Structure 1
């Protein structure tokens, strides 16, 4: 691209005489990248967005459309999926310097691990990734503690206050396969949650469309809305605990805040839910009362997941027991 070449040339001349007061960046030369197993199956546009750090998304798509990006010396479109040993030509682009990972090293309770997968038991109160005022999360801490890992990515997410099973992929092929299973609805994810109220039905389907929006305070929220995305949760009654009920929630779709909003819209407050729950109840639960101990978290725990192993094809079910603080809170509700 002539204009890009001129821009890069001028940038070199300008920086040679007087440094620019901007974010540190480098102008890359033409790169010839051979695709390894970790990137097989990834779309070319997503691959470029990953390796071209600091390059505007619009510019990445521009160099794709103009044919400057080549695979095996041929032109491709943005939907092309990479194959093993493909040679990708990436033209010179101006990229921001990579930021060092300053997250503290941390390991979490491992429920399963092999060459393809890492499944951990995430504690409540820990974000899965940095952002929105959070310096680092689970993924940054795991990468810091495993500096030799060639590939480590979140397969799905859990809310910060939700505890339980979290899947991470150690190979690109595993990530792609598991994402496909989730899109097709062949994974089975189940949660344990405590609500205030007398839940009547042993098994109840809730199908309410959900719409994501940003509230006035900048927080991401979800509400039931007729033109929202189709959403389906199956709730199973497990046990009554005085004025509370323990439920198992089975996700048939995986929308943001799905369980919390479906419960709230049905007239039930999840214990400790600070977005869609009963705020007066939450304040009350923060303090011990009689024989009942305090609950200082949202009572939502990802306790079971069933999926097909991306490499062996074996059906796998992984379980995580209810955390001790939640278990103790339940027991205190039974004491008279």
Structure 2
């Protein structure tokens, strides 16, 4: 068991908020600025008035503005935070999977099987892996999310200003997302726009499930058939909205053809059949992102090639015709 040495930060620090730091909550700024300090302690020093903004007391929810002067008191700061374990396979995939990058953001080809960020039961994810291989990057934050078993285009901001603008594009449905999926069974239609509101729920075991409900949030997905196989259908799915598990639930519920390999909303027998063919993941790939560049305003299209395993399965299905 390793111990973390502690040292006191210098005297009182007065930090002027820059454009890159503005429009974030005070607690989030302090958590980043005082790495290694427990959140409970950060909330305590704000509550006691030891942290001040422009010489006044504020709440942790206060949103910082450019030019604000934040008084940060001396605190116990970890000299060396515990290192997260990021496997070589993930590191290699991230280093080789950069699809686009400039000073504002990057698009990576996310490998399947990894959560986008660490959480309960997960030591590290995609964003932790990126920060590990780029220790000198001052800012790396996820713009959106992909499911653990989904591969493909994932946006990561390198500046807070870019993060804010990209969040606005996603919120206003100005990012065109195209996925490639393999559906179980033969879907005979050529095209269908699914409008089915979705609601999230937690099972007794704590698993997140999403289902179609009139009480849910608006969700729209355009499905277009690419090719029919003997016992499956290759489709393109373009979600207009970005609800949790949207494509997976719409495919299973509204089309009646779940995604091959989907352990949560799929068909056990179908998944078992495809596993016997050597296919052991969900066939859902974020193939393309199209949006206006947050700095230049130019229309940008970024595409991620199909992983080898998905390509191999399509070849197998074509031979079965």
Q: Give the TM-score of the pair, scaled to structure 2.
A: 0.85
Change (3 A) 1:333 1:143: same
Matched, 1:54 2:38: yes
Deviation at 1:226, TM superposition (A): 2.3
SS at match of 1:139: helix
| Aligned equivalents of 1:203, 1:95: Cα separation in 2 | 57
| Aligned equivalents of 2:216, 2:74: Cα separation in 1 | 42
| Aligned equivalents of 2:122, 2:70: Cα separation in 1 | 35
| Aligned equivalents of 2:307, 2:17: Cα separation in 1 | 42
Change (3 A) 1:175 1:196: same
Structure of greater Rg: 1
Aligned residue-pair number: 308
| Aligned equivalents of 2:221, 2:153: Cα separation in 1 | 18
Match of 1:264 among 241, 252, 260: 252
| Aligned equivalents of 1:277, 1:26: Cα separation in 2 | 52
Q: Superposition pairs for residues 51-130 of structure 1, below 5 Å?
A: 51=33, 53-56=37-40, 60=43, 69-74=51-56, 81-90=63-72, 98-104=81-87, 106=91, 107-130=95-118
Q: Report what 2:269 is aligned to.
A: 280
Which segments of 5 or more consecutive residues in structure 2 lack a partner in the other structure?
Answer: none
Matched, 1:167 2:160: no
SS at match of 2:276: coil
Matched, 1:315 2:308: no
SS at match of 2:204: coil
Change (3 A) 1:132 1:78: closer
Q: Report what 1:20 is aligned to.
A: none
Q: Superposition pairs for residues 1-40 of structure 1, below 5 Å?
A: 30-40=12-22
Judge conservation of contact 1:207–1:233 (CA < 8 Å) in 2: yes
SS at match of 2:182: strand
Which segments of 5 or more consecutive residues in structure 1 lack a partner in the other structure?
Answer: 1-22, 289-293
Deviation at 1:40, TM superposition (A): 2.9
Judge conservation of contact 2:52–2:72 (CA < 8 Å) in 1: yes
Q: Report what 2:226 is aligned to.
A: 238
SS at match of 2:132: helix
Deviation at 1:64, TM superposition (A): 6.1
Matched, 1:333 2:317: yes
Judge conservation of contact 2:196–2:212 (CA < 8 Å) in 1: yes
What do the CA deviations read for 1:230-257 (whole angstroms, capped 9, x no partner)? 2111111111122211111111111111
Q: Give the TM-score of the pair, scaled to structure 1.
A: 0.81
Please provide the CA RMSD for this pair. Answer: 2.8
Q: Superposition pairs for residues 140-219 of structure 1, below 5 Å?
A: 140-219=128-207
Deviation at 1:104, TM superposition (A): 4.5
What do the CA deviations read for 1:171-223 (whole angstroms, capped 9, x no partner)? 11111111111111111111110102232332211122212222222222212
SS at match of 2:86: coil
